[in-house]
A and B are shown apart, each in its own frame.
Chain A
């Protein structure tokens, strides 16, 4: 046994720190919670207005626009039917709302952060190690601060999902900006580009494929987390999975699991197709 005399607990101080933060930044946390909840409710209402077939139509159009393949389009369009047949349509819409809310906020925060670390070595020195740390932590860990700051319910679920899905978009924005060839940057500078013009006219447009790949990954991470976040009140398909586990109900678990996978496939295909569309033509005579 480890000698008891050597034990030293930091849990007390950490609890105090959290207590202090909650007290001091109460206004801020309330504001964040309200913003997240407002956005989620709006998305959920908006998504619920659409009838089920409208989703098939939207998926069909997007799939055709981004992939231009008949087989892919037909498959992607028919897949959501399965969710409906299993009776999980409404839960899937709830899950979709959380994913969209979280991914949207991640992208909104992540792209500027990616630009920041690409431009400033000092910021990169702080943020890159943090991102490494974040990506090595198991997803459950993110539930802890979420619960501490926001209790149980939708808001902490979205919050945990945002934190978990943030690293890829930051990294891939940074990567995309750094990958822009030195030749092109030099040429733009020689034409008299300011730093801002260089970013806006050259680096960001050329980083778009990488940024879109980041959006794809961030959305997929959000989907993965949303299932876990059901443990703290995220609801949706994740809750269905959780309930099936608790009851050892293999059948329901299978139905909910398949529905999550279908959601994942559709989101993945559509966002990936978007990234491919972006590349400028390279072959002779387009």
Chain B
């Protein structure tokens, strides 16, 4: 199967003067002992297929946000290599990186990251504007995407006038308006009420059905991961402890950490069964 994202031996270490560290057996064991350095991503290697929804799940602090930001170098990786759609991401210079971010990937953030001084319409067209797309085309595309995410009528509202769910729709429309093959989403629905969250998940599924993008989706919610993911990876302490389809992970948790995640899910589904028995 064709790969959209290939990551190999990726490291991200936070700490002072970390850029000059040569990573080898010796320095790695030193790093693990010192308190000055935090290894948020440790020697990760994995790949994501084209057109697949790949979910990364883990508790907070497990390094999910760091990993997803490394993929478009919002955070500079300390070591390792990343290939996305044939681009050697770590080897790009500033100009190439800008072009790569404009054409190959788009990101959706937990806190939306909308421009508060711009209207919904301008926010959705922001990526296109940066690319220098002519105004007419930009407006057409923005209107089309506003409609597709169900925000028609709100074009001239400012982000702070909208509810969280609506703001995130703007965030999604902004990301998709540039039509990138790869979509990165960092806990996009975590800040939303359960009902809205459910609605947004369904909308994402519908959109994805018509697009077949490669989606790298980060969440701490197992249920969300199971609903959306073709494959799922469970992350802990900067590593994947298990990768597989949601069914495989539920059926065979690799260790206690994964099992504890899955346990809640099992209990929950038992409760659902109990409820349905009662009625």
Least CB distance, B22 to chain A, in whole angstroms: 26
Q: Which residues 243-283 in A have Cβ within 8 Å of B in the complex?
A: 280-283
A206 beta carbon closer than 8 Å to chain B: yes
Q: Is the CB of B113 within 8 A of A192?
A: no
Q: Which of A189, A194, A197, A286 has the most B CB atoms < 10 Å from its CB?
A: A189
Chain B CB within 8 A of A45 CB = no
Chain B residues with Cβ below 8 Å from A205 are 117
- State A266–B127 Cα separation when bound (angstroms): 42
CB-contact partner of B98 in A187, A192, A283, under 8 A: A192
Query: CB distance A184 to B114 under 8 Å?
Result: yes
Distance in angstroms between the alpha carbons of A286 and B74 in the assembled complex: 35
Tell me whether B61 is interfacial, beta carbon within 8 Å: no
Interface contact B111-A191, CB-CB below 8 Å: no
Contact between chains at B161 and A189 (CB < 8 Å)? no
Residue contact A184 to B116, C-beta cutoff 8 Å: yes
> Is A285 close to B, CB under 8 A?
yes
Is there a chain A Cβ closer than 8 Å to B112's Cβ?
yes
Q: What CA separation (Å) do A190 and B105 show in the bound complex?
A: 8
Number of interface residues of B (CB under 8 A): 33
Partner of B113, one of A187, A197, A284: A187
Do B106 and A190 have beta carbons less than 8 Å apart?
yes
State how many angstroms separate the Cβ of B100 from the closest Cβ of chain A: 8
Indicate if A188 sits at the interface (CB-CB under 8 A): yes
Closest to B122 in A: A201
The answer to whether B261 has its CB under 8 Å from any CB of chain A is no
Instruction: Assess whether A191 is in contact with B127, with CB atoms less than 8 Å apart.
Output: yes
**Contacts A202-B115, A206-B117, A285-B161 hold; do A191 and B101 have CB atoms under 8 A apart?**
yes
Instruction: Identify the closest chain B residue to A185 (Cβ).
Output: B113
**Contacts beyond the supplied A186-B74, A206-B116, A280-B160: 8 A-B pairs with Cβ under 8 Å:** A184-B114, A186-B109, A188-B113, A190-B74, A190-B107, A191-B178, A205-B117, A283-B161
- Of all chain B residues, the one with the shortest Cβ separation from A202 is B115
User: B101 is contacted by which of A192, A201, A284 (Cβ under 8 Å)?
Assistant: A192
A191-207 vs B, CB cutoff 8 Å, 1 = contact: the mask equals 11110010001100110
| Interchain CA distance A286-B171 in the complex, whole Å | 21
Name the A residues within 8 Å of B102 (CB-CB).
191-192
Instruction: Verify if A183 is at the interface (C-beta below 8 Å from B).
Output: yes
Query: B127's closest neighbor in chain A, by CB?
Result: A191
B158 at the A/B interface (Cβ < 8 Å)? yes
A184 vs B123: C-alpha distance when bound (angstroms): 11
Interface residues of B in 114-155 (CB under 8 A from A): 114-117, 126-127, 129-131
Contact A201 B130, beta carbon cutoff 8 Å:
yes
Q: Is the CB of B178 within 8 A of A183?
A: no
Partner of B126, one of A191, A281, A282: A191
Query: Which residues of B have CB within 8 Å of A184?
Result: 113-116
Closest chain A CB from B151 CB (angstroms): 15
Complex: how many Å from CA A9 to CA B117?
A: 57
Closest to B129 in A: A201
Subset of 28 A-B contacts with CB under 8 Å: A183-B112, A183-B113, A184-B113, A184-B114, A184-B115, A186-B113, A187-B107, A187-B109, A187-B112, A187-B114, A187-B115, A188-B115, A189-B101, A190-B105, A190-B106, A190-B107, A190-B113, A191-B127, A191-B178, A192-B102, A192-B127, A192-B131, A193-B98, A194-B98, A281-B160, A281-B161, A282-B158, A285-B161
List A141-187 residues whose CB lies under 8 Å from chain B.
183-184, 186-187
Interface residues on A, range: 20 to 34
Q: Are B116 and A280 in contact (CB under 8 A)?
A: yes
Report the bound CA distance from A219 to B45 in whole Å: 58
Is there an interface contact between B74 and A189, defined as CB atoms closer than 8 Å?
yes
Among A183, A187, A206, A280, the one with the most B-chain Cβ atoms within 10 Å of its Cβ is A187
Which residues of chain A have C-beta atoms less than 8 A from B46's C-beta?
none
**CB of B99 within 8 Å of the partner chain:** yes
Chain A CB within 10 A, most for which of B116, B171, B184: B116
Q: How far is the CB of A181 from chain B (nearest CB, A)?
A: 8
Chain B residues with CB below 8 A from A186, complex form: 69, 74, 109, 113
Tell me the complex Cα distance, A204–B112, Å: 20
Contacts of B74 in A (CB 8 A): 186, 189-190
**In contact, B158 and A191 (Cβ under 8 angstroms):** no
Tell me the bound Cα distance from A144 to B171 in angstroms: 56
> Nearest CB to that of A209 among chain B residues?
B117
A122 to chain B, nearest CB (A): 18
In contact, B130 and A280 (Cβ under 8 angstroms): no
